[in-house]
Amino acid sequence: MNVDALIGEAERAIGAGKLQAAAGLLERAAAERSDDSTLWLRLAGIQRGMGRPRVALGTVHRALAVSPRDFAALLMRASLLDRLGDPEAPEAWGNALANKPEGALPPQLASAIAHGEQRHSEWLASREAVMKERMAESEAHADEEERRRIARFRDNVLRRTRPFHSSPTHFHFPELAEREFHPRGLFPWLRELEEATETIAAELHAVMHAERAELVPYIQYDEHLPLDQWRPLNKNPDWTAIHLWRNGERIEANARHCPATMALMESIPQPRISGAGPNAMFSLLAPKTSIPPHVGVNNTRLVCHLPIVVPEGCWFRVGAETRYWKRGEAFVFDDTIEHEALNPSDELRVVFICDTWHPDLSDVERDAVKALLEAEGLPGSGL
């Protein structure tokens, strides 16, 4: 009897309530077509229904040997381990949930998924409690930055977060520290920038109401270029910018209305590279607008945000860390690590943005970066 005939006979046996016969037929079919994970999974389901969970578990493992990330097989494995009281069950639920497909799932899976989420959450909480107890003495002696990094280490181990890395589209300088948000202590000029928030805000108001100010889409590139990450916002007025410096060019129509802001830029160690830097602008994000996940061009410089107009709920994610913008509270981040943003409000959001050298670069290395970028003739700041 061929495989299809065996499967047909098995279906008729199931319909007649003859599970033992159906299992035997499916076992023969699966042995003939051993690379078909669905057959092994169907057999495991029947074995589970016959009250043979340990046998069913072995059969599920045959299915997973063929398709290691099959969600249904992973879900059944976790359920069977749970039924057997196996201590590996909570982690198995985590593996299954990590492979849950996008979109709607069959309603019959809802209760199993909900149970798995609860079991996995309880397991993570238990592990975290033990970790915190063992690490308490170390954390008691840590400063704020060290505590933040220790907490992220714990979250990475618990897989609540994952590592993100610098992935610039064009220019990657080796061995620079990869940080989503860089420590404030590396940038002593941040305090001066924050203290100037009211002045910068007043100059924003002046330039926005100036007759000849230039407001342009933040993202602008030729449609034929292979840049999918920004396509929804290319030339889109929902994300616009008022540039003061753009790729090393002073935008006089805007800069002349912002003398104090321009003077303040002199105290910031910005890359001065022909065709690439410095860069300074007001970034305007329209209501109900998102900036999709993307990465920047060049990891030798970092980006500073000073929030000026921040409606409630506006957030910014870099890697695994999400922050809510707060007016007058600046931060420096690496835009070559995946990042995104959202303005969920009904009001305009405005952030002042400028760039600065990565602090790990020596003067000689900065000179080398400048020489290479000017030789390439490509923007070093990114879009």
Give me the sign of the Cα torsion angle 295, 161, 358, 281.
positive
Structure tokens at 158: 């618990």
**Which residues, in sequence order, are CB contacts of 76 under 8 Å at separation 6+?**
41, 44, 45, 48, 56, 60
Query: Where in the sequence of the chain do the CATH 2.60.120.330 domains occur?
Result: 181-376
- The CATH number of 3-103 is 1.25.40.10
The rounded distance, in Å, linking the Cα atoms of 302 and 382 is: 11
What b/e sequence results for 61-93 when a residue is b if at least 16 CB atoms lie within 10 Å of its CB, and e otherwise? ebbbebbeebbbbbbbbbbbbbeeebeebbbbb
pLDDT at 221: 45
DSSP type of residue 298 = B
Report residue 42 as tokens: 């169907």
- The two structure tokens encoding residue 87: 């201590």
Strand, helix or coil for residue 147: helix
**What element of type H or E holds 113?**
helix 110-140
**Cβ pair 148, 321 in contact under 8 A:** no
> What integer pLDDT is reported at residue 136 of this predicted model?
96
Give the pair of three-digit tokens for residue 29.
């079919």
- Please name the amino acid found at residue 76: M
Specify the domain boundaries for CATH 1.25.40.10 within the chain.
3-103
Mean pLDDT by 10 residues, the chain (383 residues): 85 90 90 92 94 96 95 96 95 95 87 94 96 96 94 95 95 97 96 98 93 60 48 62 95 96 96 95 95 94 98 97 98 97 96 98 97 80 42
pLDDT at 228: 56
CB count within 10 Å of CB 182 equals 19
Which pLDDT score is estimated for 378? 62
What CATH code would you report for 181-376?
2.60.120.330
